[in-house]
Structure 1
Amino acid sequence: MTDRDTYIEKTKAKLDQWNAEIDRIKARAEEAQADAKIEYEKQLEEMRQQRDEAQSQLDEMRQASDRAWDDMKSGFDKAWSEIQSAFDQALARYR
């Protein structure tokens, strides 16, 4: 497996983890009272947006040529760090 494949698999695994966290919080939201439910839904939407942005970037990385991938990786690392931070902040509100 190439470094690129390993990188993509690690990123995919993190997205899978985020999907599981979103599902867990969604289950909590469904049990919450009306006021709390609104806040849950707001945070879930924020988390979904972060996840979708990360998925979009991962899709671009998968389709990039080897040469383009090398150029894209540093930009993706920076964007991924920002996305992960925002997702983790939203998730921390429910732990």
Structure 2
Amino acid sequence: MNDKELYQQKKQTQLNEWKTGMIQFRTQAFAARTHLQLELNKHVKLLESKLEEGKIKLAELVKMTGHSFESAKKNFEIMWDSIIVAFADTAIKFKALT
């Protein structure tokens, strides 16, 4: 397995773990009182869109080769960091609201 494949596998694993966490957030939001459900669902939808963006960008990145891959990888990492922050923020907000 080459470096690119290992990179893709690592990022895909992280996306899968985040998706599992998002499902847990969605379950908590569903179980919350009605007035909290709206607030929690807003955070879940934001996280869902970030994860979908990550999935799409990872698929695009994997198709690239050579120098274009390395260049795009830097931009991908910036976007990836925004997912990490969004996931952490969602976890904090869920903890505070539930």
> How far did 1:75 drift?
1.4
Task: Letter of the 2:57 partner, please give it.
Answer: Q
Measure the CA separation in 1 of the matches of 2:92 and 2:3: 31
Residue 73 of structure 1 corresponds to: 73
With normalisation by structure 2, the TM-score equals: 0.87
1:38 counterpart SS class = helix
Runs of 5+ in structure 1 lacking a partner? none
Identity %: 20
Q: How many residues were matched structurally?
A: 95
Q: Deviations over 1:5-51 (max 9, x none)?
A: 11111110110011101111111111111101111110100110111
1:41 maps to 41
TM-score by length of 1: 0.89
Give the drift of 1:77.
Answer: 1.3
Gaps of 5+ in 2: none
Cα separation, 2, equivalents of 1:15 and 1:29 = 21
Question: Offset at 1:91?
Answer: 2.2
- Partner AA of 1:72 in structure 2: A
| Cα displacement string for residues 45-80 of structure 1 (whole angstroms, at most 9, x for unaligned residues) | 011011111111101112112332122111111221
Flag as ranges the 4+ runs of structure 1 deviating above 4 A: none
Q: In the alignment, which residue of structure 2 is the partner of 1:32?
A: 32
Cα RMSD over matched residues?
1.3
Aligned counterpart, 1:64: 64
